[in-house]
Structure formats: C-alpha cells, structure tokens
Amino acid sequence: MQKDFGKIGFILAALGSSIGLGHIWRFPTIAGMNGGSAFVILFLGISLFVGASMLIAEMLIGQYGRKNVPDSFKEITQNEKTPWRFMGITLFGGPFILTFYCAVLGWVLYYIVFVSFHLPSDFQQSKIIFDDFSSHTNMIFYQILCFIIILAMTAYSVIYGVKSIERLNYVLMPMLFVIFFGLLFYAMTMSSFKMSVEFMFKPDFSKITSNTIVDAMGQVFFSLSLGAGSILTYASHMNKKQNLLTSAIWIVIPGIIISIVAGLMIFTFVFAYADKSAVKEGPSLIFVVLPVMFGKLGLFGSILCALFMVGLLFAGISSTVSLLEPCIKYLYDKTKYSRTTITYAVVFGIFIVGIFVILSMNTNYKDMLTFFDKKLFDWIEWMSANMILTWGSFFCSLFVGYFIPKATLQSWTSSYLKSSLAFHFWYYSLRILAPSMVVLIFINRITHLYE
C-alpha cells in the first residue's frame, strides 16, 4: 500500500523525524541545566562519532529487513523464532514519548494563539504567563484542548502515509531554517551574544560530571530519533542502494547546527533579559525567554513569534508522526484493522496517559502525581531518553556489531564505507563504544535515581 521513498525523500523524512522539540526545546533546556560548555562539547563529540554509527546501524536493519520492527529482525536472521524479535518492545517507546511530547507541542500551539499577540514585557511577567498556563487549574481546559489538537494533527498525518510526510517536509523544513537564521543574526547584534558563545563553548572541564556525560548521551539519542524504531521503520521503505553514510551525515550535521543555533540564541536572550541563573530554568526555558525577546520588537515581534512557533509546531509534528508510525505499521501488519482505526486507538491511549502527564504539572493535582520527588511529566521524559531509547539503540548496535557476520556487513556497506579504516571505525564503535556508553548511562542513572 505504501510507496517507497526516493533518495532525498528518505533523508527529508528522517530529518523531519530528527529535527523537532529535541533540538529547539530540549537541547537548550538540558544544556542550561548542565552549565553549558562541557555538555555542549560532549554532545558534539558523541553525535559525530557514536551517534552517526548507531544511526547507520538502525538504518541498515530497516534497509535489509524491509518490514516492521520485529519482522525486520526475523527477516535478517532468517529465523521466525529469533530472540531478536523481542526488539518489538521498542514499539512502545514512541507512544510513551508522545504523551509528553504532544503536551509540549500543545504549549507551542497555545503560545501561537494566545501569547504571540500579547507578549510580556519582562522576564518575570513571562514566567507568570507560563506558570499560570501550565499549573493553574483554570487553564487545564486550554492545555487539554491544545493536546487534543496536536494528537489529531499527528493522527491525520500518519493516516495519510509516507508520501504525505515527505510532502509536508518539503515546505516546512526550509521555512524553519529561514526563521531560525534570522533570529541568530538578530542575536549576533546583541552584546550578550559574546557571553552566550562563552557559555556554550569555552571549555571548562571541571564542569564535566558523570551526569553531564550521561545527559549528553541521552540528548544524542533523543535528537537523532534513535532507539524507538522510527529510523528503522522509515529505512524499511528505502532503496537497497541508498548510501547510508551520506544519509547519516545529512541527519547528524543539520541537527547539530540547529541545536547549536537554538542554544546560542536562547542563551543570548537569557543573558540580555534575565538573571544569569535563569539558564537553569528547565522545561519552561524557551517558553519564558523567547516571548520577552519578541516583545521588544513590537508588532513585528508578535508576527515573528507566531511564525517561529508555527515552524516549531510543524517540525514537532513531523517528529510525532515518526514516533507513532512504527507502532501503527506493526499493528497494521499483524491485525485485521485499518490504519485509520489503529491510529485512532493508539492515539486515544496516548491521550489518556497524556492527561495524567498534564495534570502532574498542575498545582492541584501534582502531589498525587509525583513519585519519589519527580513529577509524572519528568519521569516520562527521563525514562524515555535514559532508558527506552538507550536500550533500544544498545540492542540495535549489538545486533549489527555482533550478530550480523562481518563479511555480510562489509558487502552491505561496501559502496560507502569504502576504506577499511572507515569500516572498522564504524564496526568497533558499534561493538565497543556504543554498548559501553549505554551501560554507563544505566549504571549512572540507577545510582543517582533519587537526585
């Protein structure tokens, strides 16, 4: 029923999956909480070396499996009963992440409609707008309404299938890039830009703690869409001749650029309009800082704010589609229901859990929905980057690194990993670097569970 991707179509769809809240919202949030440069430098290194290798591994499984997640493993191993079929468990990852991802996109929608044209004049006022919206009981209606609209947009795009995702991305990605670079140039004219560059890049290795390393790794998985079957599922629609190295580079580099630009501009505005400590603001960071900046520009600022948020919204929708698709594809292959019915059913499940995620931020309900000092929202966000995606990628790397014979890998990748050095670098990063990274995350997260 679904057509295959063209060469560029695959890259655009994978880029659409990768670029989203992860770069523009989560990256500045986590970089700020980790004190900047040490985190940023680790993020860059891990993305380029280990992230890209893992991306190629996940794409390869899709490219040669050509099916939904568990069936791709069965196809490659040529064994119906292979234990690798339990990788199907990663199919829960997408819907799980969507429960908070769509809630955050709901905030973006709220900001487009209700905040863009009533921008706050200073940081304190902006904080009040955000806190009111996210935690005031009267506002629950709006939060849930926005959440439902986002879920409906996601369901609609998923039902339309791969081609519509491709078409959507052709228009929206360039628009986001234009707005983004415009904002960067504006930030560059401000005196706090220099502080922002220092905050992000001036190496201060004393700041590297095990938490920073682990957060950087989690962010790499999240932003490259690794470990939840999104990339694998998209790759199952690609041609066997597709060059995975070029594809990986086309996904990793723009992602890095967008994250860095987002960080540079957000921190420039934070240093210009707020106290330095505001960098540690957390998930509300961009929602508090950006409107203050746009507010300085009058009506033009309002229009820009709305356009920026619209860009972010659509970048987010192409990510939500990729989070939902693996699970829908699997259920469609295995049950007798239509794609439409399946999509509505899964989205309904996400809606129910999502309501609790949203309530966990509300003053009246948060006590009920806080466990071991972490709100449900924070738990789900934490679990996704630090547990689900990491283990998903861990097993993909082991599968490609240890299970598929080396000679087979060499023949599969021979058209692009031409030199033996390139091949071996990739091969050993899957065998050694990637798995040890995940084990490190796990040990660290378990031992620091209650921090």
Interface ranges with ligand TRP (CB under 6 A) = 17-18, 20-23, 222-223, 225, 227-228, 230, 319, 322-323, 389
Both structure tokens of 307: 């356009």
Q: How far is the CB of 20 from ligand TRP (least distance, A)?
A: 3
Cα 359 vs. chain centroid, distance in angstroms?
23
For tokens 């899964």, name the residue.
Answer: 346
Please, how many CA atoms are within 13 Å of residue 105, restricted to the half-sphere of its CB?
30
- Closest CB to ligand TRP among 281 and 381? 381
Q: How far is the CB of 120 from ligand TRP (least distance, A)?
A: 26
Q: How far is the CB of 174 from ligand TRP (least distance, A)?
A: 18
* Cα–Cα dist 286/218, whole Å: 20
- Closest CB to ligand TRP among 25 and 426? 25
* Cα–Cα dist 389/229, whole Å: 9
Helix axes 7-18, 244-273, angle to 10 degrees: 30
Both structure tokens of 281: 């603001």
Q: How far is the CB of 221 from ligand TRP (least distance, A)?
A: 6
Q: How far is the CB of 309 from ligand TRP (least distance, A)?
A: 15
The secondary structure of 189-254 as a DSSP string is: TSTTHHHHHHHHHS--GGG--HHHHHHHHHHHHHHTT-SSSHHHHHHTTS-TT--HHHHHHHHHHH
Q: What angle do CA 229, 217, 58 make, to 5 degrees?
A: 25
Per DSSP, the three-state class of 371 is strand
- Closest CB to ligand TRP among 94 and 301? 94
- Closest CB to ligand TRP among 28 and 301? 28
Q: How far is the CB of 450 from ligand TRP (least distance, A)?
A: 25
Q: How many helices (H) and strands (E) does the chain have?
A: 22, 2
Q: How far is the CB of 143 from ligand TRP (least distance, A)?
A: 20
Q: How far is the CB of 56 from ligand TRP (least distance, A)?
A: 16
Q: How far is the CB of 411 from ligand TRP (least distance, A)?
A: 29
- Closest CB to ligand TRP among 226 and 342? 226
Note whether 150 and 320 are within 8 A (CB): yes
For tokens 């794409």, name the residue.
Answer: 59
Q: How far is the CB of 8 from ligand TRP (least distance, A)?
A: 19
* Cα–Cα dist 360/380, whole Å: 11
- Closest CB to ligand TRP among 193 and 221? 221
Of the chain, the end-to-end C-alpha distance in Å amounts to 49
Note whether 90 and 229 are within 8 A (CB): yes
- Closest CB to ligand TRP among 126 and 230? 230
- Closest CB to ligand TRP among 29 and 223? 223
Beta strands in 119-160 (DSSP E): none
Name 141's Cβ contacts closer than 8 Å, sequence gap at least 6.
none
- Closest CB to ligand TRP among 21 and 310? 21
Q: How far is the CB of 383 from ligand TRP (least distance, A)?
A: 12
Per DSSP, the three-state class of 337 is coil
* Structure letter (DSSP) for residue 296: T
**Which residue(s) pair with 375 in the sheet?**
370
- Closest CB to ligand TRP among 97 and 409? 97
- Closest CB to ligand TRP among 140 and 168? 168
User: Whose CB is nearest to ligand TRP?
Assistant: 22
* Structure letter (DSSP) for residue 375: E
